[in-house]
Structure 1
Amino acid sequence: MNLENIKEELNKIEDQLIDIRRELHENPELSHEEFETSKRIQNLLSKEQIPFTTGYATTGVLGVIKGNHPGKTVALRADIDALPILEKNDHSFVSKTDNKMHACGHDAHTAMLIGTGILLNKYKHELEGTVLLVFQPAEEDAPRGGSSKMMEDGVFDKYKPDAIYAQHVWPDLPVGQIGVRPGAMMGNSDRFTITIKGSSGHASMPHQTNDAIIAANQVITGLQTLVSRNTDPLESAVVTIGKIQGGTRYNVIAEEVTLEGTVRTYKNDVKTMIKQKMSEIAEGIATSMGATAEVKYLDGYPATMNSERWASLVKSTAQQTLGEEATPDIQPSMGGEDFGKFLLKYPGAYYWLGTAIPSRTVQRPLHDPEFDIDERALKIGVECMTHVTINTLQSLKEKGD
């Protein structure tokens, strides 16, 4: 396909991309509630005469673009759900619903996948193979997510991807840059709850009780050794207590305390060690203080692990379309991503799209109530994903995969 023709067509749909993104931004829907979002996607695909099927994980949509020439299959995924966050931006297209906001860029992801579909469908007479447009619900519903349910519901039963890709807006990179690397891009994202039980009594007579708050304090301190004294310093791990709840009254010794937190790792052997040691530490410390501890560890999203072949293709494609300086060296993130479940079954790559807003001296991170993107990135995201798809199909053909 002629690169200049694609750029020309991109310029024609840039305003449309912005309009789609803004309409989605104004009308966010939480995980498992994306019914109107799904209808909007279906309407847009119908308008472009892109065949689709629905019902995957309830609100998921699969668009299918069959090229006029035989070839392999490439899947492209966009997540479509929003977050339970009250938006604090003041632009003209803020969320119309209190406590619901596209604070992770899924509105942009959806708009860019629609745009990529528009371009690829326009040139399907030149396309060698099949492209799947996967609109995934419930990405934010960790640890369940929507990817596994989509696969259970048969999203890839008819067309199995030879490679699968997803891109994510990234406020730490300027517009025009792509972040990608082989191996880990995002981490294992697990959750845990520790319930510590002691015995209650009057605050003036602590010797007659087993104070669950004191035991919890020691458990929290002990859990810090999971990283500092049990994890190889050359490996990565994070253990965070995000919530503490306990006690009933200022003058009553607490009988029960609940700790909730998250564990982030890249390697499964590190995760397994932390999972085992967490129970040993919590139960041992609680027992030594006359209390008990029950640990519930919830396995979450797996680490998002890029195939070396397809990560390298994304990098070379980005350099080809955006310039040699477009792919800086990056470090992986400890954030979790449901796309990792797709990558457990199908080779592919997940990459970041620079969306930093130049006028902001401090970029608002993902999941922030003032998160926003530089909309110039939408066109770049479509351009990159379109070329990644074309180059992947060509690579698969050349190597006879």
Structure 2
Amino acid sequence: MATIDRIREIRRTLHENPELGGEEWATSTLIQEELQKAGISFKTGFAKTGVLGVIEGGSKGGTVALRADIDALPILEKTAIDFKSKVDGKMHACGHDAHTSMLLGTAFKLQEMKDQLSGRVLLIFQPNEETSPIGGARPMMEDGLFDEFQPDVIFGQHVWPDLPVGQIGVRDKEMMGASDTLSFTITGAGGHASMPHQGKDAIVIAAEFISSLQSIVSRNVNPLESAVITIGTINGGYRYNVIADQVVLKGTVRTYSKKAKETVKRRLENLVKGFEIAYEVEIDFDYVDGYGATINTPKWAELVRGSAAQLYGDDALPVLDPSMAGEDFSRFLEKVPGAFYWLGCSKEDVEQPKPLHDPEFFFEEAALEIGVETMTKVTVNALNILKK
């Protein structure tokens, strides 16, 4: 069976049997079995279910690391594909099944040509990507992922439905945003709806507070930088005729630069203090740092760009904007130079493909071969640069 057929088979098996972060035991076992069949040595025990494969080239050189995330999401799949999830409430709605199978496909190709390689390739199968702020990258490194072999460069790819199959998206610096979480508990005083002067209406205060949050971005962050503050949930109140004594708000902050993040954080703290004084309420504020911004190293982003152009021509490299979505790969890039790039995975004629994390997200399998070819080319070219 041709390599790409096997990769497609692996991808479908993973898609039918999704496992959430921290539960990827069967996925990890499948990865180990495939590496063993290919004669690739590996180690386990990183962040529980993580796997590190190692391919030694025929001569000395640098070390290139490649990463794929392996966890699924708590989403009920609503696609009509024959191999849809067999597990209610769990789905590979972010393409991690494809990432895993494509890294295995890349590993098979590199193993076949290992005598021609100068250096070493690390194959990182990472759990828990979807569980911010903990994630899986940092726990894997804390468990000694790079203790024996320190990579000179690291690469990762992510399927991207905003791009059609055949397109490769990469930027020299910002690719994806920092993703932090917020929570505010506004505690006022309850009372009868007909006598608002006797209470401190947490709902009214919350409404004004949410509006004020948006002025932090519009009037404090440099317009040439990017920042987003979103409140995703509001919970409070008891009954239509009762003044709410407490409201809980939860949301997220997205930024690229550390400066913008610190500005937002400082202004949030000041806004909370101001509302507490102005409305005579208590506001419990919690800001949790999540994944950092995914910032590519220009040198290695250019290598990805050049590798894709060699395979598919310059037309395969669209000019694109970064995304504010968060990505655990950022923690690898904080330790090792490298690049993260997007792999087009939608059909050319689909006007509005379903986005990542959607119950109807669809991955066009024609992208599998392109993903394997691109990652293989990137690896070989990087090793050639490192040996000079």
Q: TM-score range by the shorter chain?
A: over 0.9
For 1:167-178, list aligned pairs within 5 A. Answer: 167-178=157-168
Q: Is the 8 A contact 1:200 1:211 kept in 2?
A: yes
Paired residue for 2:354, among 350, 356, 364? 364
- What is the letter of the counterpart of residue 123 of structure 2? L
Paired residue for 2:288, among 259, 282, 298? 298
Q: Is the 8 A contact 1:218 1:285 kept in 2?
A: no
Q: Is the 8 A contact 1:182 1:306 kept in 2?
A: yes
Give the equivalent residue in structure 2 for 1:310: 300
Give the equivalent residue in structure 2 for 1:215: 205
- What is the letter of the counterpart of residue 222 of structure 2? D
Give the equivalent residue in structure 2 for 1:82: 72
Q: Is the 8 A contact 2:119 2:387 kept in 1?
A: no
Give the equivalent residue in structure 1 for 2:120: 130
1:93 aligns with 2:71: no
Give the equivalent residue in structure 2 for 1:161: 151
Could you tell me how far apart the structure 2 residues matched to 1:53 and 1:269 are? 39
Paired residue for 2:194, among 198, 204, 207? 204
Output one character per residue of 1:83-142: Cα deviation in whole Å (capped at 9) or x when no partner. Answer: 000000011000001110000000000000000000000011111100000000000001
Q: Is the 8 A contact 1:223 1:282 kept in 2?
A: no
Could you tell me how far apart the structure 2 residues matched to 1:125 and 1:270 are? 48
For 1:19-30, list aligned pairs within 5 A. Answer: 19-30=9-20
For 1:242-253, list aligned pairs within 5 A. Answer: 242-253=232-243
Where 2:101 maps in the other structure, the secondary structure is: helix
Could you tell me how far apart the structure 2 residues matched to 1:374 and 1:150 are? 30
Aligned residues: 388
Where 2:28 maps in the other structure, the secondary structure is: helix
Could you tell me how far apart the structure 2 residues matched to 1:12 and 1:311 are? 30
For 1:143-158, list aligned pairs within 5 A. Answer: 143-158=133-148
Q: Is the 8 A contact 1:13 1:115 kept in 2?
A: yes
Give the equivalent residue in structure 2 for 1:5: none
Could you tell me how far apart the structure 1 residues matched to 2:179 and 2:287 are? 11
Q: Is the 8 A contact 1:25 1:102 kept in 2?
A: yes
Q: Is the 8 A contact 2:228 2:254 kept in 1?
A: yes
Give the equivalent residue in structure 2 for 1:6: none
Could you tell me how far apart the structure 2 residues matched to 1:196 and 1:287 are? 13
Output one character per residue of 1:258-278: Cα deviation in whole Å (capped at 9) or x when no partner. Answer: 100000000001000101101
Give the equivalent residue in structure 2 for 1:333: 323
Could you tell me how far apart the structure 2 residues matched to 1:12 and 1:245 are? 54
Give the equivalent residue in structure 1 for 2:8: 18
Give the equivalent residue in structure 2 for 1:67: 57
Output one character per residue of 1:20-76: Cα deviation in whole Å (capped at 9) or x when no partner. Answer: 111000000001110111011111111111111001000000000001111110000
Name the % identity.
Answer: 56
Superposed CA RMSD in Å reads 1.0
1:267 aligns with 2:257: yes
Output one character per residue of 1:208-259: Cα deviation in whole Å (capped at 9) or x when no partner. Answer: 1011111111110100101111111111110000000111222211111010
Could you tell me how far apart the structure 2 residues matched to 1:268 and 1:361 are? 36
Deviates more, 1:323-332 or 1:142-151: 323-332
Could you tell me how far apart the structure 2 residues matched to 1:283 and 1:256 are? 17
Output one character per residue of 1:1-28: Cα deviation in whole Å (capped at 9) or x when no partner. Answer: xxxxxxxxxx931111111111000000
The structural deviation recorded for 1:287 is: 2.5
Where 1:171 maps in the other structure, the secondary structure is: strand
- What is the letter of the counterpart of residue 135 of structure 2? G
1:396 aligns with 2:386: yes
The structural deviation recorded for 1:358 is: 3.3
The structural deviation recorded for 1:205 is: 1.3
Paired residue for 2:174, among 145, 168, 184? 184
- What is the letter of the counterpart of residue 358 of structure 2? D
Deviates more, 1:66-75 or 1:289-298: 289-298
Could you tell me how far apart the structure 1 residues matched to 2:285 and 2:32 are? 44
Paired residue for 2:367, among 365, 373, 377? 377
- Structure 1 residue ranges (4+ consecutive) displaced by more than 6 angstroms after TM superposition: none
Where 2:220 maps in the other structure, the secondary structure is: coil
Paired residue for 1:230, among 207, 217, 220? 220
Paired residue for 1:108, among 90, 98, 101? 98
Q: Is the 8 A contact 1:215 1:291 kept in 2?
A: no
Give the equivalent residue in structure 2 for 1:3: none
Q: Is the 8 A contact 2:69 2:100 kept in 1?
A: yes
Deviates more, 1:350-359 or 1:166-175: 350-359
Paired residue for 1:46, among 36, 48, 57? 36
In structure 2, list runs of 5 or more residues that go unmatched.
Answer: none
The structural deviation recorded for 1:326 is: 1.0
Q: Is the 8 A contact 2:187 2:282 kept in 1?
A: yes
The structural deviation recorded for 1:360 is: 3.0
Where 2:84 maps in the other structure, the secondary structure is: coil
Could you tell me how far apart the structure 2 residues matched to 1:359 and 1:342 are? 35
The structural deviation recorded for 1:359 is: 4.9
